[in-house]
Chain A
């Protein structure tokens, strides 16, 4: 070391500083690019629904995944977005992909698959808001956990992503059916309830009308009976003082009526 002249050491230090500066710039540039791609700026949604800025999957692999997703979207309206990000830091996966889902999802029935190669727990599946609000949260997390577990068991990144996207689509299909059935059931129940209510209302009105109709003659009958009973009760004239005339003890013979009756 002593043989190395000071000038060379100085030049090496300067070179190292320049390299480190470049490296810093490169790293910062990469970071900023990564940030812009991973959520702060979403940009355009990829045509194949797979956002893989670092090229974890080959185009062929991407096609194998995106083709079925396109068909599902077209035929069933289920939108599956696949995100493959190199790193998400300490950010919770659902926070990272929430923005993507809000910006890129084309239907309300959607699901996002997030894969961060090498990160524990990857891949993640997040069903859209509509699904999470329509299905019981317990059922959602149970199904998703199982699906994530199966996808995570795949050995390759391609296998994980494909399995997760298929699982996400299947889960939504299942939920959609269940949700539709549930909705139908709810509608049926509501309809039945409404019909029952209307039937009860009609019955109530009919009963009220019949009751009133029955009450009218009853009231009239009661009044009639009351009047009849009142009219039929014994009627007493006020007691009178006897005033006798013509020396007769019981009758004064006042009535002069003597009618020819034949």
Chain B
């Protein structure tokens, strides 16, 4: 980002409030800990350790996608990146143990993983992690500070809904593709909204 470029407050564009990933209590945007459960970033380190795997753009620990499916997803990520070059996607399939909270795990992964070569802190803050747990059959989304502003939980829920049908049809690659397309449409609307907000000044 250019040094002279004005940075807006996230509150100006935020469509939803923020909540604790552990207990879902509504949080102040600048809270250092959760007043509901006392959750902090450090606590997540205690839960999952301090040596997370490197956060590649595509990580399939659970061996959910085959090569063809992977290239389909990568093509979709690439197309998305052309439209919204600020947004970075991290697509991960993991096999978590029972009782592990997927949002907390995503939170930990996003923050604890070291930056990849060529990746800046701002890139990570614009990143969105789609996490699929092959064991529980659940999926979650964790967005960086700069990416979380544009879509609400309900919007992400709607995008994740797109995954259900193809997942049931044993098409995990298609599930991600449809999810990303829905996410792209949602970001289109968010972008238009942001432009209106800017011009309304």
Contact = CB atoms under 8 A, between A and B. Distances in A.
Interface in A240-261: 240-261
Interface string B152-187: 010011001101100110000001000000000001
A191 to B, nearest CB: 65
A232 interface: yes
B45 to A, nearest CB: 10
A252 B142 CA distance: 8
B137 A260 contact: yes
B30 A245 contact: yes
Interface in A204-262: 231-232, 234-262
Among A242, A245, A249, A251, residue most surrounded by chain B Cβ atoms (within 10 Å):
A251
Contacts of A254: 16, 18-19, 21, 27, 143, 148, 153
Contacts of A243: 9-10, 29-30, 145
Classify the secondary structure of B's interface with A: mixed
B157 A257 contact: yes
Classify the secondary structure of A's interface with B: loop
B144 A240 contact: no
B18 A235 contact: no
Interface string B134-148: 001111111111101
A262 B84 contact: no
B42 interface: yes
B168 A262 contact: yes
Given A245-B27, A251-B148, A262-B167, A234 B83 contact: yes
Contact of B111 (A237, A242, A251, A260): A251
B146 A240 contact: yes
A248 B141 contact: no
Nearest to A241: B7
Contacts of B157: 257, 259
19 contacts: A234-B82, A235-B191, A237-B190, A238-B8, A240-B10, A243-B9, A243-B10, A245-B29, A246-B27, A246-B33, A249-B121, A250-B121, A250-B144, A251-B110, A252-B27, A255-B153, A257-B156, A260-B138, A262-B164
Interface of B: 1, 5-10, 13, 16, 18-21, 24, 27-34, 39-42, 44, 82-86, 101-104, 106-107, 110-111, 121-122, 124-125, 127, 129, 132, 136-146, 148-150, 153, 156-157, 160-161, 163-164, 167-168, 175, 187-188, 190-191, 194, 198
